[in-house]
Amino acid sequence: MVVVGEGLSATEVGKEIGEHARHSGVHDRVISIAEAVLLSVVTIIAAWSGYSAAKWATESSLHLAKAATVRAKANRAFQESFSLRAADASTFNAWYTAYVAHDVNAMRVAHKRFRPTYRVAFDAWLATHPFTNPNAPGGPQQMPQYHPTGLALSRTLDANADELYAEGQHDARTSDDYVRTTVVLASVLFLVGISSHFPLRGVRFGLIGLGGVLLILAAVQILSLPAPP
């Protein structure tokens, strides 16, 4: 409201009203420009944050899928080593049965059936004089020379699967952080969007200020997160 002093002419009153309208228009334009700039910046950052969240979610899925594949290979390698252990035990039992029966020919045949890698452990076990040495290992499979095929590979693959799974979990957490930041930016868009519906400039400035603070917090969060892969 324009207060008109006593003794002012009609021309002076018109100038006062025009000056007030001009200042009001300037304030409204400043607010509108601030809202437009804030909306533009927030829209771009929100789009980047959403894109980053999607990329990290995809990366997480890939790592978890690779972890599952490697884990399956590790299980197959372990099953192979388990089968070979059983086969080695079976041939050793055949040899031991022949040994107890003093059947030299059967012992020779059973020894020929040993796998080459198992024969190394068996010969090392015999060298410990197991039938007279009470401190000898219980069997060839307890010798350090015994390395069943697939066992070392399964352990290596298990370790790789654990690493891939950990990476997938980390990627998922990063994606969640980006999603949380996108939600904050969406709140900024909402606040700035409804500010234009309030006739009071103080309310509009307050909403713009609150939106600016949230934008800064979201920007700091994004800068602390790794870039999308």
Q: Tell me, what's the pLDDT at 39?
A: 87
Residue 132 lies in a domain: yes
Domain assignment present for residue 20? The answer is no
Q: What is the mean pLDDT of the chain?
A: 86
Q: What backbone phi and psi angles, to 5 degrees, belong to 119? A: -65, -35
Which of 97, 116, 119, 114 has its CA nearest to residue 106?
97
- Let me know if 170 is exposed, middle or buried by CB neighbors in 10 A (0-12, 13-18, 19+): middle
pLDDT of residue 4: 42
Answer yes or no: is 203 within a domain: yes
Closest CA to 212 of 184, 196, 188: 188
Whole-model pTM over 0.75: no
Residue 124 lies in a domain: yes
Residue 26 lies in a domain: no
Residue 4 lies in a domain: no
Q: What is the pLDDT of residue 125?
A: 94
Total number of domains in the chain: 1
Distance CA 185, CA 221 (A): 11
18 falls within a domain: no
**pLDDT value of position 8:** 40
The reply to whether 182 falls in a domain is yes
Residue 145 is part of which domain span?
Answer: 47-224
In the chain, what percentage of residues exceed pLDDT 90? 63
State the distance between the two ends of the chain, measured CA to CA, in whole angstroms: 58
